[in-house]
C-alpha cells in the first residue's frame, strides 16, 4: 500500500492532496498566491486530521518543482524536503508542464499539446508533447511570436493550454490552433504522483532544487 502527499504551491492556486494507492482521500486548495507560505502547514495539519492519516504513514512526498513562481516553488520545495528528511521517505519531483499536458491528454485523447505557464509580458514557460505523452520540445522560456509553433501547426492540430495560452491566442490565427480552457484537478496530480511512485522515480533529496527553467533575476543584485 502507498500513502502519498502531493504539494503544489507553484502558481496562483496552491494544492495539497493525500492519496492512498492512487485514490484521492482529500484535497485542500488556496487561491491567494501571496498566502501560500502561511497557508501550507496549517492546511496540511487539517488535511491529516480530516483523513485520519498520520505523518508516519506517508510513504513519499511529491512536490511540483517547476516551472512557476520563484517564491512559490521555493515554498513547496522547502516543505517537501523538510518532511522527507524528518520522515525518511523519498521525494518525487513533478513537472508542471508535463502535468498540464498529461492530464489534458488523459481526459481529451489525441493531439499535440503545448502547455504554457505565464512568465510575464509575452513570455511563457512551455514545452510540447505528442498524444502518447512523449516530449517533443524540452521545457523552455519562450518569447511568443506568431510563427513560434509553425512546424507543428502547419501539419496538424495543436492544443495550447495553461494560464499563458491566452497571450498566444491573441497572436496566432490558424485553423489548426486550439485553446481549450483546461486546468488539471486533484485527481490528475494523484494519478501522476502514483505512476511515478510505482516506477520508483525518486529524486536525490540533498541535490534537488526548484526547476526554474530560466535564471532567477534579483533586481537588488543587478543594481549592485
pLDDT, one tens digit per residue, over 18-70 is 999 999 999 999 999 899 999 999 999 999 999 999 999 999 999 999 999 99
Residue 217 has pLDDT above 70, yes or no: no
Residue 173 has pLDDT above 90, yes or no: no
pLDDT confidence bin for 1, thresholds 50/70/90: confident
Residue 157 in grid coordinates:
492540430
Range 213-219 average pLDDT: 61
CA distance 97 to 129: 10
- Model pLDDT for residues 2-27, shown as the tens digit of each residue: 999 999 999 999 999 999 999 999 99
Range 199-208 average pLDDT: 96
Residue 219 has pLDDT above 70, yes or no: no
Three-state SS string over 89-122 comes to: CCEEEEEHHHHHHHHHHHHHCCCEEEEEEECCCC
pLDDT > 90: what percent of the chain?
89
Model-level pTM?
A: 0.92
CA distance 165 to 118: 8
**Of 95 and 111, more confident:** 95
CB 72 within 8 A of CB 64: no
For residue 33, CA distances in Å to 26, 28, 38, 56, 71 come to 21, 14, 10, 29, 10
Amino acid at each position: 500500500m502507498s500513502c502519498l502527499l502531493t504539494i503544489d504551491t507553484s502558481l496562483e492556486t496552491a494544492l495539497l492532496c493525500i492519496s492512498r494507492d492512487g485514490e484521492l482521500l482529500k484535497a485542500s486548495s488556496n487561491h491567494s498566491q501571496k498566502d501560500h507560505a502561511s497557508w501550507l502547514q496549517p492546511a496540511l495539519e487539517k488535511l491529516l486530521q480530516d483523513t485520519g492519516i498520520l505523518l508516519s504513514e506517508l510513504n513519499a512526498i511529491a512536490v511540483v518543482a517547476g516551472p512557476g513562481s520563484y517564491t512559490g516553488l521555493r515554498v513547496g520545495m522547502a516543505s517537501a524536503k523538510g518532511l522527507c528528511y524528518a520522515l525518511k521517505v523519498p521525494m518525487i519531483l513533478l513537472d508542471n508542464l508535463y502535468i498540464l499536458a498529461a492530464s489534458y491528454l488523459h481526459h481529451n485523447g489525441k493531439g499535440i499539446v503545448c502547455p504554457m505557464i505565464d512568465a510575464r509580458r509575452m513570455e511563457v514557460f512551455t514545452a510540447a508533447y505528442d498524444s502518447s505523452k512523449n516530449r517533443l520540445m524540452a521545457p523552455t522560456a519562450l518569447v511568443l511570436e506568431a510563427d513560434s509553433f509553425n512546424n507543428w501547426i502547419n501539419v496538424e492540430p495543436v492544443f495550447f493550454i495553461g494560464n499563458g495560452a491566452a497571450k498566444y491566442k491573441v497572436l496566432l490565427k490558424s485553423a489548426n490552433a486550439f485553446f481549450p480552457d483546461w486546468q488539471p484537478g486533484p485527481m490528475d496530480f494523484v494519478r501522476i504522483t502514483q505512476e511515478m511512485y510505482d516506477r520508483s522515480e525518486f529524486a536525490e533529496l540533498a541535490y534537488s532544487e526548484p526547476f526554474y527553467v530560466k535564471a532567477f533575476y534579483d533586481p537588488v543584485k543587478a543594481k549592485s
